[in-house]
Amino acid sequence: MSSSRLTDFLIPLLAVFLGVIVGSIVMLVSGYDPLAGYSALLYGAFGDSYYIGETIRQMTPYILAGLAVAFAFRTGLFNIGVEGQLIVGWLAAVWVGVSFELPKFLHLPLAIFAAALAGALWALIPGFLKARFKVHEVIVTIMMNYIALHVTNAIIRFVLSDKSYKSEEIHESASLRSEFLQSITDYSTLHYGIIIALIAAVIMWFLLEKTTKGYELRAVGFNQHASHYAGMNVSNNIVLAMVISGAFAGVAGAMEGLGTFGNISVKAGFTGVGFDGIAVALLGGNNAFAIILSALLFGALKVGALEMPSSAGVPTELVDIVIALIIFFVASSYLIRLLLTRVKKEGK
């Protein structure tokens, strides 16, 4: 392994380690036992088959949300609208799951495709505005998150239900739920979505690393002017990158609608999965396969945190502090890289 690759591998590990250490200090200052807190967290994430199933189920949408953010990053874009694209994908998947009665081999793929299409169309708008009018995608995607939240809430209340706050349950033919996976994990909510998430990671890797179009997308992300000079259509590639990113986010929503919940309900606020996807992508270094490990960490933190109040008396909010600290140290990767470089020089 080359020196630069080793450094790229060590930086996320150091970020997690430093986040855990500083989180321990925060627990001590707050009057809690960090060893008891982290022991409870680990048990709540991996203590038995049920908790393992819940952790894997939680990491499923995180993988897809992380892929959505990472794909945009790799192509020179910052898609903060993953949360909104996830919500509209969730709505589209449930709408197909509720409205049609088809054989499972048709119904389930159709519902997932509808989610991907909804997320892609929602991301098309900021992509087009960026390519055509140079409107920064960060501003547009942030605003569109709120539009997605409130529009979907209105559709749930007045279209998918009779002025209630939850849609009907999707038909079994559109469900990702698995009696087999539930039975081997002590009847957790684990479903087949994890397989789809892993396939999506392979698709992103293959598209970016092994295809001509992927090379074009990455080239535009590195330098738009040089790409234009080389004969690439920069505007089309910007739009395509946002559309593909949105499709990943839409499928993340389908995992929730077709797998975890089986419906969609009116939301008082954002799910947070799309925003956590930014942290997942950063920690994974925007690498499709590293994002799987990053999503596992965040899934374990989220699920394991539920055990902390009852077993160790530690409030779950402290887990959010640890996550925020990890993000901080990942964002401060330049300082960590500088520290590693200095250590290497001193060791010679």
pLDDT exceeds 70 at position 347 = no
- Residue 282 and residue 291: Cα distance in Å, rounded? 9
CA angle 129, 266, 196 (to 5 degrees): 65
The residue written with tokens 């999707």 in the block is 170
Count of C-beta atoms within a 10 Å radius of residue 102 = 15
- The SS3 call for residue 307 is helix
- Residue 62 and residue 298: Cα distance in Å, rounded? 8
Q: What pLDDT does residue 204 have?
A: 98
- Report, as an integer, the average pLDDT of 56-81: 97
- Residue 131 and residue 114: Cα distance in Å, rounded? 25
Whole-number Cα distances in Å, 169 to 36, 94, 97, 190: 40, 8, 8, 18
75, two tokens: 């192509």
pLDDT exceeds 60 at position 2 = no
Percent of the chain surpassing pLDDT 90:
74
Query: What tens digit of pLDDT does each residue of 25-35 get?
Result: 999 998 999 99
Query: What tens digit of pLDDT does each residue of 297-346 get?
Result: 999 999 998 999 888 888 888 878 887 887 787 767 656 666 666 666 66
Query: What tens digit of pLDDT does each residue of 120-177 get?
Result: 999 999 999 999 999 999 999 999 999 999 999 999 999 988 778 999 999 999 999 9
**Contact predicate 156/266, CB 8 Å:** yes
- Asked whether the CA dihedral 278, 306, 200, 244 is positive or negative, the reply is negative
Q: What pLDDT does residue 186 have?
A: 95
117, two tokens: 């299409």
Query: What tens digit of pLDDT does each residue of 147-161 get?
Result: 999 999 999 999 988
Q: What pLDDT does residue 334 have?
A: 58
Better pLDDT: 199 or 162: 199
The residue written with tokens 């209105």 in the block is 154
**275 confidence band (pLDDT: 50, 70, 90):** very high
- Report, as an integer, the average pLDDT of 183-189: 95
**Contact predicate 117/250, CB 8 Å:** yes
- Residue 315 and residue 1: Cα distance in Å, rounded? 41
Whole-number Cα distances in Å, 223 to 216, 229, 245, 281: 11, 10, 19, 21
Q: What pLDDT does residue 326 have?
A: 76
Count of C-beta atoms within a 10 Å radius of residue 111 = 29
Helix 234-254, helix 104-133: angle, nearest 10: 140
- Residue 42 and residue 342: Cα distance in Å, rounded? 34
**Contact predicate 330/101, CB 8 Å:** no
